[in-house]
Amino acid sequence: MRKTSVKQSSDQVTDVFWIEPKKHKKMRYFNIILSICMLLSVMTSCNQKQNSETRADEIISLEPSPGNSKQFTIVKHEKDTPEIGEKAIAKLSGASGSDLVGEAIFTQIDENTVNINVHIMGVTPGEHAIHLHQNGDCSAPDATSAGGHWNPTGDDHGKRTESSDFHKGDISNIPVGENGKGMLSMDVKGWTIGGDDKSNILNKAVIIHASADDFTSQPSGAAGKRIGCGVIELAVQ
């Protein structure tokens, strides 16, 4: 019901009450309900879109909560897919009394290949073996805390570029000049930065040895003591 005023003469106004028809009321209520439904639909769609935009480097899975197998917790895991252009670095320092310093920079150049670029100095002239060892731990004075060669496939030690059998951590020898400086750049297939356990080089140790690798002696190529060590970590870009 709505109230309106009707002017009957110059000085007289009469109030008139108008009763809204039922069909008009129903139509007004229907429009209100329709507007509310449309608003709720838009809000729900936005929320679903936001929830679906999971970061490309995360996987959401369900794991049982501790102590209760019937309850599950959402857990985020890093994906196994390496990113092209991803970089990692190992800062190298001396071991076993060596004055060695240097760094190894790793770059993912395709999904199954990593380039390693190593620069060292303060080393005796000649060839020095370089390997990846299984533990990212250089705390021991002689770097034995790094463990043995990284070898997740259980293969024999060998020369990566010439043999079908070699450790995942086998690389090559670094030539060092009379100035005590050496460098090596090499593309290594089968490595990833952040891939699966059999290819991921992160948290492994780069070890420089006192002598050259003969590529035949087991299990480590008779390369002598460890004179340099550095842990491979993801580079902040």
Decide if pLDDT at 62 tops 50.
Answer: no
177-218, pLDDT tens digit by residue? 999 999 999 899 888 998 888 889 999 999 999 989 877 777
**What is the rounded average pLDDT of the residues 126-153?**
90
For residue 35, give the amino acid letter.
S
Decide if pLDDT at 229 tops 80.
Answer: yes
DSSP symbols for 5-26:
EEEEETTEEEEEEEPPPHHHHH
What's the CATH fold of domain 87-234? Immunoglobulin-like (2.60.40)
At residue 89, the pLDDT reads 92
Greater confidence, 195 or 21?
A: 195
**What is the rounded average pLDDT of the residues 12-41?**
62
Decide if pLDDT at 57 tops 70.
Answer: no
Percent of the chain at pLDDT > 70 equals 61
Decide if pLDDT at 226 tops 60.
Answer: yes
At residue 29 the predicted structure's pLDDT band, cuts being 50, 70 and 90, is low
At residue 60, the pLDDT reads 39
DSSP 8-state code for residue 201: -
Greater confidence, 84 or 136?
A: 136
Which of the residue ranges 10-19, 24-33, 184-193 would you say has the lowest mean pLDDT?
Answer: 10-19
**What is the rounded average pLDDT of the residues 86-100?**
94
Can you say whether the dihedral through the CA atoms of 98, 99, 100, 102 is positive or negative?
A: positive
Cα–Cα distance between 54 and 69 in angstroms, integer? 26
At residue 43, the pLDDT reads 66
- 3 state SS of 130: strand
Q: What angle do CA 180, 98, 159 make, to 5 degrees?
A: 70
At residue 10, the pLDDT reads 47
